[in-house]
Amino acid sequence: MISRRQFVGGLGASLLLRPFVDLLVRPAHASLGRARRLVVFYTPNGTVHRLWRPAGGERDFRFPPGSMLEPLTPLRGDLVVLDGIDFVGVNNHEGGMAAMLTGGRGGVAQGASVDQFVAAAIGQQTRLPSLELGVQTSAWGGNVQTRMCYAPGGRFVTPEDNPHQVYKRLFGPVLGGNRAELLLLRRRSVLDLVRGEIEALRSRLGQQEQRKLDQHLEAIRATERSLGATTSCMAPPAPAERDIYAHRHFPAIGRAQTDLLVTALACGITRVASLQWAHAVSPHLFTWLGQSEGHHELSHKGDHDERGVANFVACWRWFAEQFAYLITALKDRPDPEGGTLLDRTLVVWCTELGDSRLHTCQSVPFVLAGGGLRTGRYLRYQGVPHQKLLVSICRIMGLDNTSFGQAPQGIGPLEGLV
């Protein structure tokens, strides 16, 4: 058996080999599940349940006319709508935002949010383990109201609000030709070189190490297939530089971020991404809908204020349209391994509150789509801790942890989801 130092020396300095070297010195953290990618989609300030809830049963549900989720009707068969999920022991915007993806401090993730936990397990085969995109998330700086992604230890993971900066990070400075194709060709040649080095050293490994090597080679081959699928990996035009915190630019920035997210997945640049629309207590104005009151203010309108409630519903319907755009974009992009990107991408739409008027975190709404799910269903629970949903997300992504976040709430997956 060769030592780790000898193996690394024989392979050179290529960062692409780190996942295999880790396989030699510790057990694999997770196996690949039915979904290969994870996307988290966040919108703020809770809901009004009677105007959000679908009508009908598990399989025959529908989105009533004028309801918040009605724009999702054409995609009904791609969705799982979850009702009755509680953030146990948590209330208000700050508590909900902190717990939403972490399940509370402690546990197997050590305070990390579920996206970062998954990225640590499956993100080592991609250039970016995860990609965090935002739309006007940081005008108030980094605090518990403006951050939903956490690294272990509870450290904020800051989303990038500027699509132009995201583009440069993904594809580099704008030059002639298709930047995505040039980048992929360069990366693909590196993969071929590394594969040759590994094959040359294969005979020097023991049986167990050879099996681990074969797993790593197969992952590299899968990545190469992804990189070679240029028909599904075309860089969008570089986003225009604009004032990213002007209310009027909110839709354009969000659309650019969505396009970049889908392209990053299609190009194999990352397998874990998030899109955070604004933040908790967000006061942004939906001026393009003709509104003059801030979103957070609208979220507190009582039933007696019919116009105010209608405006809040209009905001929700607009967000539903953006979610529909994301799902449709994933459905329209082919997966190099067959089917579409959506077929192997789990998408989770979340918010930090249940009832927006009461500031409670009971029956917090979730909508899921994509890979690893039995879709076309409306599932109603009775106060189930949301840590079980976080465990289910991990399971769908191929991880085998039995808890997430604070125990005992986080033991076991959500029943009936998969």
Strand ranges (E), 223-306: 272-277
Task: Report residue 38 as tokens.
Answer: 């994870």
pLDDT digits (tens, 9 = 90+) for 378-390: 999 999 999 999 9
Q: Which residues pair with 91 in a beta bridge?
A: 360
pLDDT digits (tens, 9 = 90+) for 322-338: 999 999 999 999 998 88
Best CA proximity match to 341, nearest among 133, 115, 95, 78: 78
Q: Is 4 exposed, middle or buried (0-12, 13-18, 19+ CB in 10 A)?
A: exposed
**Residue 187 above 60 pLDDT?**
no
**Residue 231 above 60 pLDDT?**
no
Residue 22 pLDDT grade (very low, low, confident, very high; cuts 50, 70, 90)? very low
Least confident of 103-117, 270-284, 306-320: 103-117
User: How far apart (Å, rounded) are the C-alpha atoms in residues 349 and 368?
Assistant: 6
Q: Is 238 exposed, middle or buried (0-12, 13-18, 19+ CB in 10 A)?
A: middle
**Residue 186 above 90 pLDDT?**
no
Q: What's the alpha-carbon Rg for the chain, to the nearest Å? A: 22
Best CA proximity match to 179, nearest among 263, 254, 253: 263
User: How far apart (Å, rounded) are the C-alpha atoms in residues 111 and 204?
Assistant: 40
pLDDT of residue 392: 97
Q: Which residue has the higher pLDDT, 203 or 31?
A: 203
Task: Report residue 190 as tokens.
Answer: 């590196």
Least confident of 9-18, 51-60, 300-309: 9-18
